[in-house]
Every structure is written in structure tokens, then in C-alpha cells.
């Protein structure tokens, strides 16, 4: 029902946010106070840590593995619904940070999770971004970033909306049927231009027979130009109206 262990990606996430602080020039890791004022060492290890404590990198790694195993035991004991690897990793990181005692056991997150309300859990994770600093409970930027990462990992294996059997989105939306070009304004303009051009040619052939042939040629030429302009304008308008 639950993964056996936290994944290497989950461990890397915890290491990133906890950080391996206070590595001395001697290669040993020194204890330090976290932003909440708790003495820590290794990657957020707090049990039995005191001021001036020093350990090796190998000891720090073992502290982390032991702490994560303890978090896993809490989750396996108190979470009664199946978990994916991503959900398990996110919860181990979460419990490692807030503790596996009253904070987690009385949380709304655990209640909703055990009801199978997986989609409401990321929001509950995000609520835990505060810590006491100088006696006051206030949001911490680092905790907000960590909660965001945990919420994202928890949601990573969630079912996508397209998997629930709902209506499918068409891959090729169909357009409305185009209007026939024969009925468009473009054809009217082309017709005017064509007729005027033909009449202009006829005026040239009647040069010797009609006294005003030159004047007619000028009129027909202007009509042809006007027809071409009308055709160009109408084509743009037809295209905008769906005429092809």
C-alpha cells in the first residue's frame, strides 16, 4: 500500500532544503541553531544535538537515513490509504520537518488524506509555512518554498483530468463552411475591370471610325483601374467574411 522507502529524489529534496551547514576546515560538521532556534546538525537532525557538537560526513549521512526511516514508520502507521512514491516522498519530507508527533497526528492534512481526499492535501501542506521566530509565529520564506516543492511532488502522480472519461477536446476544430466565391464582391470587381479592359481594346480598333475614340479609351481605362481597385478591396473584405 505504501512504498518501502523514500526515493533518492526525495532524499535529495530534503538535503536541498535542510542544507549541510557548518562544515569546518577540519572536515567535520558542527552543530548550529536553525531559524526556529533549535540546535541541529547534519541535514536537520535535532535529536540529542547540543552546542559544540561535531560529527563526520558519514555520521551525518547515517543520521539522515535513520531520521527518514523514523518518519516512514509514522506514515505507515497513521496513513491508511494507498500512496504513490511521490506522495510518500512528500509526506516523509513534511513529517521530517514538522515532526511526527502532535503536529502531524492532529493535522487536517492527515484527516483529509485518510478520507481519500488526495486533491485537497497539497493545500493543507502549504498551510505549514510558519515557525516561531523570537517567540512569534510567522511565515518563513524557506518554509514556503519547501511546502511548495512538497505539494508539487505530492501532486506529481495525480490523475489528469483527461483520464477521467470526460468529454474529449477536438484535435482539429472545424470551421464554418466558406461562402462561394462566385457570390462574392471580389468577382464583381474583377468583372468590371475585365469588361472595361475589353471595351478599351474595342475603342482602339474603332479609332478611325468613331470621332471620340480617344476619349472613350480614357474612360474605359479609368473604369478598368477602378475595377481592379474594387477587386483588391473586395478580396480583403471577402476573406474576413470567410469567402475563399
- Cα–Cα distance, 148 to 34 (Å, whole number): 20
Predicted TM-score (pTM) of the model is 0.61
Name the active-site residue from 34, 59, 61, 223: 34
Q: 130, 129, 112: which is closest to 121 by C-alpha? A: 112
Is residue 12 scored above 90 in pLDDT? yes
Name the active-site residue from 18, 71, 121, 150: 18
pLDDT band at 27 (very low <50, low <70, confident <90, very high): confident
Q: What is the pLDDT of residue 175?
A: 41
Q: What is the pLDDT of residue 234?
A: 54
Domain ranges of the chain: 8-158, 181-240
pLDDT tens for residues 53-98?
999 999 999 999 999 999 999 999 999 999 999 999 999 999 998 8
Would you call 34 a catalytic residue per the annotation? Answer: yes
Would you call 168 a catalytic residue per the annotation? Answer: no
Give mean pLDDT, residues 105-115.
96
CB atoms < 10 A from the CB of 53, how many? 16
| Fold held by 8-158 | Lysozyme (1.10.530)
Amino acid at each position: 500500500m505504501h512504498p518501502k522507502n523514500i526515493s533518492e529524489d526525495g532524499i535529495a529534496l530534503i538535503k536541498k532544503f535542510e542544507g549541510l551547514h557548518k562544515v569546518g576546515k577540519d572536515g567535520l560538521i558542527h552543530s548550529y541553531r536553525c531559524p526556529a532556534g533549535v540546535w541541529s546538525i547534519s541535514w536537520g537532525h535535532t535529536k540529542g544535538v547540543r552546542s559544540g557538537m561535531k560529527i563526520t560526513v558519514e555520521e551525518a549521512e547515517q543520521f539522515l537515513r535513520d531520521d527518514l526511516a523514523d518518519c516512514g514508520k509514522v506514515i505507515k502507521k497513521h496513513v491508511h490509504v494507498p500512496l504513490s512514491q511521490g506522495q510518500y516522498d512528500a509526506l516523509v519530507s513534511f513529517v521530517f520537518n514538522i515532526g511526527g508527533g502532535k503536529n502531524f497526528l492532529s493535522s487536517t492534512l492527515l484527516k483529509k488524506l485518510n478520507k481519500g481526499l488526495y486533491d485537497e492535501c497539497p493545500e493543507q501542506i502549504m498551510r505549514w509555512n510558519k515557525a516561531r521566530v523570537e517567540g512569534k509565529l510567522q511565515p518563513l520564506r524557506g518554509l514556503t518554498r519547501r511546502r511548495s516543492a512538497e505539494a508539487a511532488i505530492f501532486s506529481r502522480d495525480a490523475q489528469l483530468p483527461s483520464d477521467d472519461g470526460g468529454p474529449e477536446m477536438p484535435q482539429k476544430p472545424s470551421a464554418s463552411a466558406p461562402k462561394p466565391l462566385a457570390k462574392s464582391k471580389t468577382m464583381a470587381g474583377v468583372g468590371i475591370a475585365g469588361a472595361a479592359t475589353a471595351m478599351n481594346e474595342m475603342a482602339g480598333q474603332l479609332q478611325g471610325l468613331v470621332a471620340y475614340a480617344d476619349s472613350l479609351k480614357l474612360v474605359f481605362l479609368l473604369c478598368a483601374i477602378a475595377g481592379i481597385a474594387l477587386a483588391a478591396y473586395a478580396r480583403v473584405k471577402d476573406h474576413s467574411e470567410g469567402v475563399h
